[in-house]
Chain A
């Protein structure tokens, strides 16, 4: 069995020419097409921008009846989509912190690890 790890640091990159903050896999800047970037790590806590509770999971998550998914934004503007550790008392605007853990076995039987988000209070 393989363990498929995401990078444990949450990093985006910032264009050194136009300043746009963007996901780390863009080879050229989304806005100005340059390829001169600085890596930026997510900092501080993050706020919940929106969320859903998915009750019809895709096949990889077939052993779970439901889970919460949210989009969060860190203090320095980095956004991440991930699962939330609870389905209770979720509200747009609450503060969360990232926790790195196994989230499923994929269809090839390998463990998938990723960041999930835990409400602070």
Chain B
């Protein structure tokens, strides 16, 4: 198997990006990655585009070949990879396999989504909920946040954890996001509170009081409130991959993808023996660790899929950082802060960087690329050499992990 290197990255700002369509965003991230990797005059073998629902949300299909046309990469092969919220991770896996197999030498992977223009109440919630089991789940009125509510309550009861510990993860991720110039929300929750006070919306003594207020932090899926849930966002992220043997022709400090894993679990969440266990993550992260010959103890920094803050807890356990049931306490003790034992989501995670669904799995790898090259600015995890991602699809029934290392 050939070694696979990342030689350049691109990342649009995440947020509410008006006046740009999905294809504009994919083009912007792709061209930045091509510039960043010094491959502007090269022929690419393949382009993989991760996006969940451009057909439904943007009335655009065939976006991979359309992208290749716009950015001048004809006749490169072009595929649109759809795996729900894990579309970006799946697209990276496809690019990795193309180079590892020796079939391709130079590949562009880009993920993106354009979502915030949809204003119909419940439309995105319903669209994303079509990923759940039609008969056993969706017809009963579930949404992805409702599953997160079910999991949070089960977790808190089983492991005697506190909801405040889960809220502290949102506080941490907003603190990290405030240091990330491409994040959707570049504001700490303390700053959210102060700006609400300035606008005369209320008075709170501290952030915890602010987060307990039904008006500023309404319940979405009890016990989960607004600040436990990530936003929907617009944005795109891209990486250029090549055979590691030629990586130094383009880039002084390439980053290697040394482990890739992907696994599934039951479609119906309540068929899992324990709903607080992500078997798909246990399986896919084990594949990635094994391929890279690493263990969870070797990881310096992780980008996990905190679409809901409970997921960061459960994922931090099932990816091997903490024992089952100890993730929330570990976060409470500061172990997952930048500077802690295992920093999680220095980017701000989905909570603060934002969540343009198809972009997320690629954005996680872009953040690790910056971290491993020492380019993450004020949110830098000092000396990070090895990182791993969890890109969560469906409601935990399709998960991708990518393990990266300094070359």
- Report which A residues bind B (CB closer than 8 A): 4, 6, 22-23, 25, 30, 49-62, 67, 69-71, 79-83, 92, 103-104, 106-107, 112, 114
Contact = CB atoms under 8 A, between A and B. Distances in A.
B145 A79 contact: no
Contacts of A83: 140-141
Contacts of B146: 52, 54, 69
A6 B135 contact: yes
Contact of A59 (B122, B140, B221, B275): B122
Given A51-B150, A53-B221, A80-B270, 8 more contacts: A54-B149, A56-B220, A58-B122, A61-B122, A61-B141, A62-B121, A69-B141, A81-B268
A33 B110 CA distance: 37
A50 to B, nearest CB: 4
A3 to B, nearest CB: 13
Contact of B141 (A23, A57, A79): A57
Given A52-B222, A55-B218, A81 B275 contact: no
Given A6-B139, A30-B266, A52-B150, A58 B129 contact: yes
B221 A54 contact: yes
A23 to B, nearest CB: 5
Contact of A81 (B137, B143, B149, B154): B137
B139 A114 contact: yes
Interface residues of B, number: 37
A22 B271 contact: yes
A50 B141 contact: no
B136 A81 contact: yes
A81 B140 CA distance: 8
Given A59-B125, A62-B121, A103 B222 contact: no
A91 to B, nearest CB: 9
A79 B129 contact: no
A51 B223 CA distance: 9
A58 B150 contact: no
9 contacts: A23-B271, A49-B270, A50-B151, A55-B218, A57-B125, A59-B126, A61-B122, A61-B141, A71-B270
Contact of B123 (A4, A59, A69): A59
Nearest to B143: A58
A23 B136 contact: yes
B198 interface: no
B153 interface: yes
B120 interface: yes
A54 B125 CA distance: 12
A67 B142 CA distance: 10
B141 A103 contact: yes
